[in-house]
Structure 1
Amino acid sequence: MTEQPKRFDIGALVDLLTILTVLVIVKQSVLPFSFLYAGPASTFSAMVVATMILRRRGLGWKDLGFRWPENWWKIIGLTVLSMVAFIAATQMMQLFADTFFVDIGVSGRFDHIEGNLPAYIGIMLLVWTHGSFFEELLFRAFVIDRASNAFGGGRIADIAAALFSSIFFGYRHYYYQGMHGALITGAGGFAFAMLYLWFGRKNIMPLIFAHGIFNSLGQTFRFLGIRD
């Protein structure tokens, strides 16, 4: 007997649209008041709502791969692999982005960090909450899981979900990085998304650590005044 294809999951679609709505509305609402904290405010809000949605579905974040590692050496190796894949994907996309769009950097969003220890400590707290754990749990684990289920499940649905999550991830960075940065960030997000699928959606910690390390290095360079 052949396996019947999964049907379109309206519940998963509602879950997905709910989180996307929270992310967009909260960020756009906070932007007029804070260019720096609009993103974090939206991810914090979305994490609360996503956690409630998962509980209502009888699930938890561990079901999407957020669990204590059993083998730290494996996690370290996969983290290094994730960093290499991210660099490769973003460098390839940069060749395209440089041809058609102007690189505006981060629009001065983090200029206040240079030489400012309290600001540096504050931004590092955001790096290891909003910028690593929350973004990976939301844009990789939650969005991919809900989108894949909404599309009916299976390999094609997984890839479509990975692509969708990456496009939305790039869009999330457009407001301060422009199209150039959005394309590069989206490409890195797609590399992470495909790794998440390769990990079987059971291990998101390497992506969290890789994301946090990249952001930590970037903010540390800014604090020290090291320019590209």
Structure 2
Amino acid sequence: MHDQIAAHESKQKRTSNSNFGALTDLVAVMATLVIVKQSILPFSYLYAGPASTFCAMAVGTFLLRRRGLGWKDLGLRWPESWLKIIGLTILSMVAFVFATQMMDVVADYFFEDVGTSGRFDHIEGNLPAYIGIMLLVWTHGSFFEELLFRAFVIDRTSVALGGGLKADLIAALFSSIFFGYRHYYYQGMNGALVTGAGGFAFAMLYLWFGRKNIMPLIFAHGIFNSLAQTIRFLGIKD
């Protein structure tokens, strides 16, 4: 009986340590994202976001390795079936469009749509700038953002809350709010709400299939960003 009690207490202690460790990891990465971006914003409106995600990826990688984990454990895996990945990518894009269009109706009613506040205006007709922004699209704007805002934030938040369905849902909502906040500085409240809604759609998909393979979300994110920047480069107006 004494052995059973001791084993139970030991398990509770390990769980408590795991929860606290996940919380400290989450705070460290989120602090990196916020501090680095806010520090660079006065000097560069364009590169503050990318700089913060590059730094956060380094911090997140270190923290995961310290826990004996890696990005593979959070869903970054080579696809077993590319046909399945393509199908899930299309599904992810449909879900994102549906969520953002629904929120767009609400956001437009309460807040002005400021677009991207001229952040990418220099891309129009500028091939070197377009190539540079496309490099950021497929690093910071898709790969890093999905690994950080979906995989890392959701996983660490859920573990910190003890795991389970309720913790997963809270983690998905929290990651979406933070994702929307990250876009507020150049898209305003309208853009933050719409982006947050799209982030929530991706978060729910991450809980469904992303923990096994997050590649469809990365591809969907990258395709959307690529289309948006290509339209800007070509000077196509609404």
TM over 0.5: yes
Q: Which residue is equivalent to 1:63?
A: 73
Distance (Å, rounded) in 1 between the aligned partners of 2:53 and 2:73:
20
Q: Which residue is equivalent to 2:228?
A: 218
Distance (Å, rounded) in 1 between the aligned partners of 2:128 and 2:142:
20
Q: Which residue is equivalent to 1:48?
A: 58
Q: Which residue is equivalent to 2:190?
A: 180
Q: Which runs of 5+ in 1 are unaligned?
A: none
Q: Which residue is equivalent to 1:152?
A: 162
Q: Does 1:18 align with 2:28?
A: yes
Amino acid at match of 1:184: V
Amino acid at match of 1:57: R
Per-residue deviation at 1:200?
5.7
Distance (Å, rounded) in 2 between the aligned partners of 1:108 and 1:195:
31
Q: Which residue is equivalent to 1:88?
A: 98
Q: Is the 8 A contact 2:210 2:217 kept in 1?
A: no
SS at match of 2:230: helix
Q: Which runs of 5+ in 2 are unaligned?
A: 1-10
Distance (Å, rounded) in 1 between the aligned partners of 2:94 and 2:66:
37
Q: Does 1:108 align with 2:118?
A: yes
Per-residue deviation at 1:202?
1.2
Amino acid at match of 1:88: F
Distance (Å, rounded) in 1 between the aligned partners of 2:207 and 2:86:
18
Distance (Å, rounded) in 1 between the aligned partners of 2:184 and 2:165:
29
SS at match of 1:132: helix
SS at match of 1:133: helix
Aligned residues: percent identity? 80
Q: How does 1:178-217 map to 2 (within 5 A)?
A: 178-199=188-209, 201-217=211-227
Per-residue deviation at 1:140?
0.2
| Deviations 1:25-66 (CA, angstroms, capped at 9, x unpaired) | 000000000000000000000000000000000011011000
Amino acid at match of 2:133: I
Per-residue deviation at 1:214?
0.0
Distance (Å, rounded) in 2 between the aligned partners of 1:74 and 1:202:
12
SS at match of 1:160: helix
Amino acid at match of 2:85: I
Distance (Å, rounded) in 1 between the aligned partners of 2:104 and 2:208:
24
Structure possessing the higher radius of gyration over alpha carbons: 2
Dislocated runs of 4+, deviation >2 Å = 4-8
Q: Which residue is equivalent to 1:171?
A: 181
Looking at secondary structure, tell me which structure has more helix per residue.
2
Distance (Å, rounded) in 2 between the aligned partners of 1:227 and 1:203:
36
